[in-house]
Amino acid sequence: MPKVMDLFSRHPWKSPLVAGMCFVFLGLLSPWTGHTAPGAGIGSDGSGIGYPLVEDSFFEEEDAWQEEETAVLVADPLETWNRLVFSFNDLFYSWVMRPVASGYAGVIPEPARECVSNFFHNLRTPIRLANGLLQGKIVRSGNELSRFVVNSTLGVAGLWDPAYHWLHLSGLDEDVGQTLGKYGMGEGIYLCLPFFGPSNLRDSLGLVGNYFLDPVSLLAIKYDEKIYYSVRSGEELNKASFRLDEYESFKAATFDPYSALRDASIMYRRQKVNDEDYTD
Amino acid sequence: MRLLKLKSRLLLVFLALTLVVSWDSSLGVCAEDPGPMVQIRETVDSILLLMRDPALASPEKSGERRTRIIKAVDIRFDFREMSMRTLGKVWDEKSEEQRGVFQKLFADLLKNNYIGRIEGYSNEEISYHKVIMDKTGSRAMVFTSVIKNTREISINYKLILKGHDWRVYDVEIEGVSLVKNYRSEFSRIISKEDYAGLIKRMEEKVRLE
């Protein structure tokens, strides 16, 4: 196991933290569509067409629309630097990630790509399970564990998702950043990370935690960092192949993609931290 | 005699009861009808129907399909309310004519960018979870989600009651509010380039499509 400091020092470009990258970048890049696990967010009780609940608190901020001055969502003192990183990510996506992912999507049929994505999702159960438990989401964590057992066996090492399709079991989408937020840690300043994309101080710290809960990281810790990077790149490539035009349409719909992405990602993460679990 | 009295009394009670019950149920219908969730569902279903219609699937029919989708959207979405909430204070300062120009541009911008995108979702199942309302009963939020590639994406609609119709004034996708996002985008542009600059940039964007 490498020392924590190794993540930052020595060869920053070889360190798992920095180079682990191509990776989460895309997921964070498109908060408009998100990448939640099944059932994350609101209660999955589909019957809910009954009498509406009365909850004024949801509309409080609506009333302020007239008085509110330019709403600053998050402090961004490093804006100049962040914009530079954003441009780099933008170029990297447009010139490397997108063409490669679109070629890959042309060759590999969607069901096969879905199996790849299912496999990695299943493998990452420890991250979601640990953080679900830390946040006291007992029922959902139980579902997550059942999903892991069912999908690892009946779903052939997680390649398929019978837990969802047959048993309608949906799991969690939790990570260390959300747990830190739930425990009261503030977001700190906004950060645009190379490859990882939009983040903030708290979530960046969370990424380090995720790395140590991620079974895929064992490849770097026990074997070779090169294998780890290849696997992670492959995984992110596969992920990107499902969302080929999303970033482009996001850019087309916004005037200043940098700040629009910053605001959207902050709102997206806040919702993830504050999501109520109706089953517990 | 006494029996008769009892009978008539029973009849009265019975009558009163039926009255109360029917009154209550008619009230119930009033309160529920049409309901924000039912109305959102109608709109979403009508759009899905258009997208799945094989008669409209050919490329030469795509224009017609788009016009019909836009018509369905216009019934449910209140672009005036959206524009108002997006511009905030600036809206109050503008003349009715200027508001109309802005509203048209904003509506076109949203339609151009989002109608193309929902086409990828035509085969997905949509779940309707719950409705919440504010105390006055004039605003509601409908919680829905769509499953795409086994990932659940939450889409929540905020609606305002206009007459008998619930009209959408904001959409939250995965917690990201459309109105909030555009509000900060627009206010940044206005502070740098003034209102005229914003209109110019919106015109350019809409023309690009």
pLDDT at B185: 92
Write out chain B residues lying below 8 Å of A52, CB-based.
35-37, 130-133, 140
How far is the alpha carbon of A53 from chain B, nearest alpha carbon, in Å? Answer: 5
Quote the CA–CA distance of A121 and A125 in Å, as a whole number.
Answer: 7
Determine whether A89 is exposed, middle or buried from the number of CB atoms within 10 Å of its CB (0-12, 13-18, 19+): buried
Cα angle value A101/A102/A104 (rounded, 5°): 65
Q: Which of A55, A56, A62, A258 to mutate to test the interface with B (most CBs of B within 10 A)?
A: A62
Q: Report how far apart, in Å, the C-alpha atoms of A65 and of each of A54, A146, B15, B80, B88 are.
A: 21, 44, 51, 14, 6
A268 with B132: Cβ contact below 8 A: no
Q: Which of A42, A61, A250 to mutate to test the interface with B (most CBs of B within 10 A)?
A: A42
Question: For residue A221, is it left (φ>0), alpha (ψ between -120 and 50) or beta?
Answer: alpha
A249 with B147: Cβ contact below 8 A: no
Contact between A42 and A278 (Cβ < 8 Å): yes
**The two structure tokens encoding residue B169:** 């004034």
CA gyration radius for chain B? 24
Q: Which of A150, A246, A255, A262 to mutate to test the interface with B (most CBs of B within 10 A)?
A: A255
User: For residue range B99-111, what is the model confidence (pLDDT) as tens digits?
Assistant: 999 999 999 999 8
Q: Region B180-190: what's the mean pLDDT?
A: 92
Write out chain B residues lying below 8 Å of A190, CB-based.
none
pLDDT at B7: 61
Residue A44 at interface with chain B, using a CB cutoff of 8 Å: yes
- What's phi and psi for A56, nearest 5 deg? -65, -30
Residue A171 at interface with chain B, using a CB cutoff of 8 Å: no
The SS3 assignment for A204 reads helix
B185 with A256: Cβ contact below 8 A: yes
Quote the CA–CA distance of A54 and A50 in Å, as a whole number.
Answer: 12
- Is A16 a residue whose pLDDT tops 50? no
The whole-chain average pLDDT of chain A stands at 80
A49 with B128: Cβ contact below 8 A: yes
Nearest residue in chain A measured CA to CA from B202: A255
Tell whether ipTM is more than 0.90. Answer: no
Give the residue among A272, A262, A264 at the shortest CA–CA distance from A180: A272
- Is A12 a residue whose pLDDT tops 60? no
Query: Rounded to an integer, what is the distance from CA B61 to the centroid of its chain?
Result: 26
User: For residue range B46-59, what is the model confidence (pLDDT) as tens digits?
Assistant: 988 888 888 888 88
Residue A68 at interface with chain B, using a CB cutoff of 8 Å: yes
A42 with B208: Cβ contact below 8 A: no
Write out chain A residues lying below 8 Å of B38, CB-based.
49
A170 with B152: Cβ contact below 8 A: yes
| Residue B167 host element (H or E) | strand B165-173
pLDDT at A277: 53
- Is A210 a residue whose pLDDT tops 70? yes
Range list of H helices, chain A: 16-19, 22-29, 60-63, 79-92, 98-107, 110-123, 125-134, 138-153, 162-165, 176-182, 201-213, 218-222, 225-240, 246-253, 257-274
Q: Which residue has the higher pLDDT, B18 or B159?
A: B159
DSSP notation for B41-84? HHHHHHHHHHHH-GGG-SGGGHHHHHHHHHHHHHHHB-HHHHHH
User: For residue range A117-126, what is the model confidence (pLDDT) as tens digits?
Assistant: 999 999 999 9
Quote the CA–CA distance of B126 and B147 in Å, as a whole number.
Answer: 7
Quote the CA–CA distance of B139 and B167 in Å, as a whole number.
Answer: 9
Q: At what angle do helices A79-92 and A22-29 cross, to 10 degrees?
A: 100
Domain boundaries, chain B: 78-208
- For chains A and B, what is the number of CB pairs under 8 angstroms? 160
Give the residue among A176, A159, A154 at the shortest CA–CA distance from A123: A159
> How many other C-beta atoms are found inside a 10 Å radius of the C-beta of residue B183?
21
User: Which of A17-31, A194-208, B141-155 is predicted most confidently?
Assistant: A194-208
Nearest residue in chain A measured CA to CA from B201: A255
Q: Which residue has the higher pLDDT, A170 or B165?
A: B165
Give A 70-99 residues with CB within 8 A of chain B: 70-71, 73
Residue A122 at interface with chain B, using a CB cutoff of 8 Å: no
Amino acid identity at A186: G
Among residues of chain A, what percentage have pLDDT more than 70? 72
Pick the CATH number of B78-208 from 3.40.50.360, 3.20.20.370, 2.30.30.170, 3.10.450.710: 3.10.450.710
Please give the span between the terminal C-alpha atoms of chain A, in angstroms, as a whole number. 36
Write out chain A residues lying below 8 Å of B32, CB-based.
51
Residues written for chain A: 280
The SS3 assignment for A170 reads coil
Locus of tokens 């640990």: A130
- Is A79 a residue whose pLDDT tops 70? yes
How far is the alpha carbon of A147 from chain B, nearest alpha carbon, in Å? Answer: 13
